[in-house]
Amino acid sequence: MPDRLYAGYVFDLDGTIYLGSELLPGAARLVRALRDMERKVVFVSNNPTLDPEDYARKLSELGLPTPASAVINTVVTTTEWLAANAPDATVFPISEEPLKRALRGRGIRISEDPPEIDIVIASYDRQFEYRKLQIAFDAIRGDRHARLMATNPDRFCPFPDGRGEPDAAAITAAVQACTDTSCELHFGKPGPVMLNAIAAALALAPEDCVLTGDRLTTDIQAAREAAMASALVLTGETDPQSLTDIPDQHRPDYVLDRVDRLMPAERWAELQWRAETDAPAT
């Protein structure tokens, strides 16, 4: 358990704050207490199938009122990167509607016509089909040699019952396999585009911040790359067993069985928290 408070708290969402449509134990009281203590709280997700408004609505409905501005996900990072670095590019997003809506909203041109496409964006797309793969194939192999980028590097998205769904890495791999091209950039954790977005949202020195998540390869690595403290919660994807054989330099600073253990022990009494109370959403 940490023995200090930080100025900034970055939280992954799935498996850290909630799982499916339920807040995880202690999440609500922790976030409320941090806000009361005027700590900066930012939520971060690699999932591009929702936009920040959707996340804000979901968190608010679960009892954790949150403005969209406190949520950064790959819809935001992808759109902002393109607007800043390739504003005139025509893109073909293999994605669901929230990313397309954000791109259009930012004035970025979308096309399904291969000779027009400059950048193919592989994403988490539950309507993925052969037709889309053919468009990406033609765009990359055609005279324009479209570039390949991805919203996020995740192989699958975990579900509460241990199941899951194929994520953007599967779509990226399909495009790479048939074009012999590699994906040159992604916009999620632990990549530099997402880390810069997090740093800009916090506007704090990294050593005053802690990033908490349930995945070693995205969340904990992102914290390390950003030079922030890292906390792994065991309420999502990582099982405690897998921690035994990771090298020391990849080990998170804190390992927590529930997210509210981020609060230093000495604060629990004044907050009137009891460890044995599992009271959700309080």
Whole-number Å distance between alpha carbons of 114 and 142: 7
Report whether the peptide linkage leading into residue 190 is cis, meaning its omega lies within 30 degrees of zero: yes
Whole-number Å distance between alpha carbons of 174 and 34: 43
Site string for Mg ion, 95-134 (x = CB under 5 A): ----------------------------------------
Q: Does 12 bind Mg ion (CB under 5 A)?
A: yes
H-helix segments, 62-110: 74-85, 97-105
Q: Does 154 bind Mg ion (CB under 5 A)?
A: no
Site string for Mg ion, 204-243 (x = CB under 5 A): ----------x---------------------x-------
Of 58 and 109, which CB lies nearer to Mg ion in the complex structure? 58
Of 99 and 157, which CB lies nearer to Mg ion in the complex structure? 157
Which of these segments, 6-14, 82-90, 93-101, 174-182, binds Mg ion (CB under 5 A)? 6-14
Whole-number Å distance between alpha carbons of 60 and 146: 40
Indicate which single residue of 8, 15, 52, 206 sits in contact with Mg ion (rule: CB under 5 A).
15
Q: Does 252 bind Mg ion (CB under 5 A)?
A: no
DSSP annotation string for 200-211: HHH-S-GGGEEE
Of 54 and 118, which CB lies nearer to Mg ion in the complex structure? 54
Q: How far is CA 140 from CA 77, 103, 130, 143, 182, in A?
A: 23, 20, 15, 8, 11
- Residues engaged in binding Mg ion (CB under 5 A): 12, 14-15, 214, 236
